[in-house]
Amino acid sequence: MRIVDYIQFIIFVVALIALTPPLGRYMAKVFQGEKTWMHKPLGWLETLTYKASGIDPKEEMSWKGYAVAFVVFHIIAIIVLMTLQMTQAWLPLNPQNLPNVSWDSSLNTAVSFITNTNWQGYSGEVTMSNLTQMVALTVQNFLSAACGIAVAIALTRGIARRSSSTIGNFWVDTTRTTVYVLLPICVVFAIFLVGQGVVQTFAPFVDVITLEGAKQTIALGPAASQVAIKMLGTNGGGFFNANAAHPFENSTALSNFFQMLSIFAIGAALTYTYGTMTKSRRHGWIIFGVMLAMFIGFTSLSLTSEFTTNPTFHQAGIMEGKETRFGVFNSILFSTVTTSASCGAVNAMHSSLSPLSGGIAMVNMMLGEIIFGGVGAGLYGMLLFVLLTVFIAGLMVGRTPEYLGKKIEAREMTMVILAILSPCAAILIGTGISAVTPAALSSLANKGPHGFSEMLYAFTSSAANNGSAFAGLSANTPFYNLMLAAAMFIGRFAIIIPILAVAGSLAQKKYSPPSSGTFETDTGLFAVLLIGVILIVGALTFLPGLSLGPIVEHLMMIKGITF
């Protein structure tokens, strides 16, 4: 690493820290129904949304009501997304006359975009019409992000409220997120991206004759408006196949920097929102600190691996699958940012990273994407581990654990464990089935342990609702479309429904004031214990799988063995 790399790293971290309090404070106001400076220009839009949708913003929902609204809304979104894809040939804004999408691919994509995964079995520029990209995919980029944030806020209310039977209103939380947080930022961000060179046009593809006289067809589309929310909402689904590596999606180092920052912005700020709404700001910063420490740790490991000489090529910082304008440092930083959050956009091909850097991308996802994480998902994912840590600490001293004045009991812990283990099971079982299924193995592009990694990465990415890939895998087959759709479904609903149950059950509890025996959650000791619990759960679950993939590949590579 060069000095300029360290400087870019420091600027990134400082910008993230600086952004957290103002954005976090703003979101806390929005979700507590207070007036902000954005209510003047946008208040009418919130009111209009309720009116047009027939929503009573004053209605309060129990956790069950919240969960039902959440599930119903997602099922309707799946139907809409599948319909749009399967009929796009007959609809307008299809300048390339692209055909209708197959049922299994459109099901996969629909599930992928409602669950904030944005796994893509398809190649955007040769599959989706402009109408599908906008009306189906861009919309769902916003809404899946807003739904994730809504759930995090519902859990926050569950912890903050006392003796309450309700946790908020799903429609109101989703509307406020969209209107006051996502949309205004995206408008500014999208226009900035266009200025950097990201395309935004409805023109058909352009045929050029190159200087050497070859024909080249250049794909275009309304990309910037989608790229802005794809990053800010930690969606990650590329407009083009090469995603954020495509010069029309991520044209400059500056567009790259702000894309990385926007991936983390909301996830980081939500720790502050959480601290504010639960009146334990110091604890919010402890959560932020744990996330930041783990982010810096894993990024450093990944950089070390990538900058270590590869004996096969006698070079370090291999440029395969990387873009010149980003270089090695920004490619690795992007890879850890996008997998720590549940974004999944890539500016370098993760399959071509050094084995351990690719492995760290997987570890980031396997731990549940709790390092800032997906918008909303990062916070509620981290709170699962916080509750687990509090519980374990309680067991150590032999008294009923308390967390922010709420007793943590068997019912909550059952739900927490269910939410932590379900995606793990989806990853391991899905990879296991694929490893013995000929239809799955015929999709592999790489041989040896890297081929295994392609499958492990695919199920990890799906169950963690990330969406990045070791993209050599030909995943647009009925087997993967259906298996990965199932993994994405489990990774979303098998976490969110238990989370809402925890929120409901905590909201009902009385406040129990801290006593001398209460384990404090705003100390460095708690932070260390939390990191320990996260790493132990992750290691116990995934070390065998990782050993068969990236670890053995690394051991072979350093001996100069190719396969």
List binders of other proteins among 71-90 (CB under 8 A): 72-73, 76-77, 80
Asked if 308 interacts with other proteins (CB under 8 A), we say no
Distances (CA, A) of 183 to 138, 149, 189, 226, 539: 12, 14, 10, 11, 39
Site for other proteins in 402-431 (CB under 8 A): none
Q: Which stretch binds other proteins (CB under 8 A): 29-37, 311-319, 415-423, 497-505?
A: 311-319
User: Which of 296, 318, 425, 435 forms a contact with other proteins (CB under 8 A)?
Assistant: 318
**Residue closer to other proteins (CB basis): 99 or 514:** 99
Residues 321-350 that bind other proteins (CB under 8 A): 321-327, 330-331, 346-349
Q: Centre a 10 Å sphere on the Cβ of residue 474 and count the other Cβ atoms it contains.
A: 13
Residue 73 or 479 with smaller CB distance to other proteins: 73
Question: Cβ–Cβ contacts within 10 Å for residue 328, how many?
Answer: 21
Q: Which two tokens stand for residue 528?
A: 């260390």
Q: Quote the least distance from Cβ 88 to other proteins, whole Å.
A: 13
Residues 528-547: x/- map of binding to other proteins (CB under 8 A)? Answer: --------------------
Rounded to whole angstroms, the Cα distance separating 44 from 64 reads: 30
280 neighbors 207 (Cβ within 8 angstroms) = no
Chain centroid, CA 120 distance in Å:
14
- When asked if residue 317 is in the footprint of other proteins (CB under 8 A), the reply is yes
38 scored as a contact of other proteins (CB under 8 A): no
Binding span for other proteins by CB under 8 A among 235-243, 295-303, 400-408, 519-527: 235-243
Using rule CB under 8 A, residue 57 touches other proteins: no
Name the 3-class secondary structure at 393.
helix
- Residue 117 binds other proteins, judged by CB under 8 A: no
Burial of 357 (0-12, 13-18, 19+ CB in 10 A): buried
Which residue, among 258, 213, 239, has the nearest Cα to 11 in the 3D structure? 258
Cα–Cα distance, 392 to 540 (Å, whole number):
16
Task: List the interface residues with other proteins, window 187-226 (CB under 8 A).
Answer: 187, 190-191, 194-203, 205-220, 222, 224-226
Question: What does the alpha-carbon distance between residue 459 and residue 468 come to, in Å, rounded to a whole number?
Answer: 10
Q: Does 505 bind other proteins (CB under 8 A)?
A: no
Q: How far is the CB of 7 from other proteins (least distance, A)?
A: 6
Span of 367-375, 412-420, 425-433, 443-451 interacting with other proteins by CB under 8 A: 443-451
Using the minimum distance from each CB to other proteins, give the nearer residue, 143 or 287: 143
- Cβ partners under 8 Å of residue 76, min gap 6: none
Find out whether 423 and 368 touch, Cβ atoms under 8 Å.
yes
Q: Per CB under 8 A, does 55 bind other proteins?
A: yes
Q: Which residues pair with 200 in a beta bridge?
A: 222
